Amino acid sequence: MTDDKDVLRDVWFGRIPTCFTLYQDEITEREAEPYYLLLPRISYLTLVTDKVKKHFQKVMRQEEVSEIWFEYEGTPLKWHYPIGLLFDLHASNTALPWSITVHFKNFPEKDLLHCHSKDVIESHFMACIKEADALKHKSQVINEMQKKDHKQLWMGLQNDKFEQFWAINRKLMEYPPEENGFRYIPFRVYQATTERPFIQKLFRPIASGGQLHTLGDLLKDVCPSAITPEDGEQKTQVMIHGIEPMLETPIQWLSEHMSYPDNFLHISIIPRPTD
Amino acid sequence: EPLDDSQASAVCATEEVIRYEYHVLYSNSYQVPVLYFRACFLDGRPLTLDEIWKSVHACYQARLLERPWDTITQQEHPLLGQPFFVLHPCQTNEFMSSILTSSQKHNRLTNYIILWLSTVGPVVGLNLDLSYANLAPEQNT
């Protein structure tokens, strides 16, 4: 359907206007101007911020610069989470542009994974895709692909090439004609208020009677507090790519159309704004 | 004879105490156990992957380099949210099934976790005491 393909494009081309400011304690030779950038929702911080790094390194001394890391209101931002997920989880109901603080010292070893090169990002990205296919197809589709197909997925993401990416990714979205969907849905549910970083469980898209499970069914199973109202009021929002999909949406459709390029549905449960 | 304080501290200064932490988790996605670990010095400074490599016994270093299933990467612990090193799980089924098949051929009783942990553990400094071999096996398979 034409409409469904439009969703794929809307997801791919989503952007978040962001303002990067250097942390005030970093030592500079002259004043550091903030740097503005439109961040792709579907990408990763360390993949798209080379210009940010160059901009701030221009005003710093070489010896003051080690691994870059990002923080929002005191919270170190996990570069291995897609940008859109980080925004929805931490800042979705705040005024734009998103204000991120840039650091070059005191890397928070207990909170963040290191990211010494683009290879680390590629490794992480491919590991997520492989895990998603383990859930969807017992790894059959990803294992049948050649190395060059794997490379094309990564290059498509890195170079923001929708067609190049989907030429291969469409195979990961197929399922046998006798089935009505994937074996299990690759998803993670995030809540900033909990210790646990995310919830991930085995969940089938099709019920034993053949009906399609919905987003609401998944949440009821994985995180019931997210959808049962307290005192009759819905205190939380369920957000994917900056929108609140209807809870009646079939989870199989969401998996095929609103997954991130890593083939996972990253779902945020956030406090509903009170105004 | 007892060492006096200055001698005792001189001895300690040449040795480094490293605290290793190992977690065994179960991967729903791959349906196998996965080994997560991290190490730090007593002052809290974490070891880098390079430093951990150096502490792995030389005989395992060569093996690690040639076997893809022993790849170690840094990943987020799914329950604690903190960085750990992880022994990659995607080939676990392959090497475990060959061990299990030969055990069954020789009618040896098996405990999956002991078999798995005694294979992957020593590679990252975790050595199981031999008494684990005497533990009661699993009821099925």
Supply the CATH number for residue A16's domain: 3.10.20.620
Strands A265-271 and A98-103: unpaired
Question: How high is the pLDDT of residue B70?
Answer: 53
In what order do the strands lie in the sheet containing B72-76?
B18-27, B32-41, B83-87, B72-76
Question: How high is the pLDDT of residue B67?
Answer: 56
The rounded mean pLDDT for chain A is 94
Lowest mean pLDDT among A152-156, A206-210, B93-97, B135-139: B135-139
Q: Regarding predicted confidence, which is higher, B65 or B37?
A: B37
Q: Does A2 have pLDDT greater than 70?
A: no
Please return the burial class of A177, using the count of CB atoms within 10 Å of its CB with bins 0-12, 13-18 and 19+: exposed
In what order do the strands lie in the sheet containing A187-191?
A187-191, A265-271, A236-239
Q: Does A176 have pLDDT greater than 70?
A: yes
Question: How high is the pLDDT of residue A229?
Answer: 73
Contact present, A258 and A242 (Cβ < 8 Å):
no
Mutate to test the interface with B, among A115, A128, A131 (most CBs of B within 10 A): A131
For residue A60, what are the β-bridge partners? A28
Q: Is residue B93 less than 8 Å (CB to CB) from chain A? A: no
Question: How high is the pLDDT of residue A137?
Answer: 97
* Single-letter code of the amino acid located at B131: S
Domain-located, residue A246 = yes
Q: Does B6 have pLDDT greater than 60?
A: no
**Domain range enclosing A251:** 132-271
Domain-located, residue A259 = yes
**How far apart (Å, rounded) are the C-alpha atoms in residues A30 and A59?**
6
Contact present, A102 and A20 (Cβ < 8 Å):
yes
Contact check, Cβ <8 Å, B30/A198: no
Contact check, Cβ <8 Å, A80/B76: yes
Contact check, Cβ <8 Å, B90/A201: no
Catalytic residues of B: 90
Domain-located, residue A170 = yes
Question: How high is the pLDDT of residue B58?
Answer: 66
Question: How high is the pLDDT of residue B68?
Answer: 47
Closest residue of B to A184, CA-based?
B29
Domain-located, residue A204 = yes
Supply the CATH number for residue A239's domain: 3.10.20.90
Q: Is residue A113 less than 8 Å (CB to CB) from chain B? A: yes
Q: What is the pLDDT of residues A56-68, one digit of tens each?
A: 999 998 877 889 9
- A88 and A157 share a domain? no
For residue A70, what are the β-bridge partners? A102
Lowest mean pLDDT among A35-44, A198-207, B6-15: B6-15
Closest in B29, B79, B82 to A135, CB measured:
B29
Q: What is the pLDDT of residues A215-252, one digit of tens each?
A: 999 999 999 988 777 666 788 999 999 999 999 999 99
Q: Is residue A112 less than 8 Å (CB to CB) from chain B? A: yes
Closest in A111, A131, A197 to B29, CB measured:
A131
- pLDDT mean over A124-145: 96
Residues 6+ away with beta carbon under 8 Å from A11: A41, A42, A241, A257, A258, A260
Q: Does A268 have pLDDT greater than 60?
A: yes
Question: How high is the pLDDT of residue B15?
Answer: 62
Domain-located, residue A123 = no
- A173 and A69 share a domain? no
Q: What is the pLDDT of residues A60-91, one digit of tens each?
A: 988 778 899 999 999 999 999 999 999 999 99
Q: Residue A191: what are its φ and ψ, rounded to 5°?
A: -140, 120
Domain-located, residue A58 = yes
Q: Does A109 have pLDDT greater than 50?
A: yes
Closest in B28, B29, B79 to A196, CB measured:
B79
Q: Regarding predicted confidence, which is higher, B109 or A76?
A: A76
- pLDDT mean over A107-136: 95
DSSP H or E run through A10:
helix A2-12
Domain-located, residue A213 = yes
- pLDDT mean over A12-32: 94
Question: How high is the pLDDT of residue A64?
Answer: 74
Lowest mean pLDDT among A219-228, B54-63, B118-127: B54-63
Q: Is residue A204 less than 8 Å (CB to CB) from chain B? A: no
- pLDDT mean over A47-52: 97
Chain A hits for B68, CB-CB cut-off 8 Å, are none
Q: How far is CA A98 from the centre of its chain?
A: 16
Q: Is residue B28 less than 8 Å (CB to CB) from chain A? A: yes
End position of a domain, from candidates A66, A85, A103: A103
Mutate to test the interface with B, among A69, A106, A109, A185 (most CBs of B within 10 A): A109
**How far apart (Å, rounded) are the C-alpha atoms in residues A81 and A112?**
11
Question: How high is the pLDDT of residue B11?
Answer: 40
Quote the radius of gyration of chain A (alpha carbons, Å). Answer: 20
**How far apart (Å, rounded) are the C-alpha atoms in residues A79 and A45?**
5
Query: Cα dihedral angle (B110, B114, B119, B123), rounded to 10 degrees?
Result: 180
Residue with tokens 């031999």: B130
Question: How high is the pLDDT of residue B7?
Answer: 40
The total number of structural domains in chain A stands at 2
Q: Does B141 have pLDDT greater than 50?
A: no
Of the pLDDT bands very low, low, confident and very high (cuts 50, 70, 90), residue A270 is very high
Of the pLDDT bands very low, low, confident and very high (cuts 50, 70, 90), residue B65 is low
Question: How high is the pLDDT of residue B140?
Answer: 46
Mutate to test the interface with A, among B21, B26, B27, B28 (most CBs of A within 10 A): B28
Residues 6+ away with beta carbon under 8 Å from A32: A21, A22, A26, A56, A59, A60
Domain-located, residue A122 = no
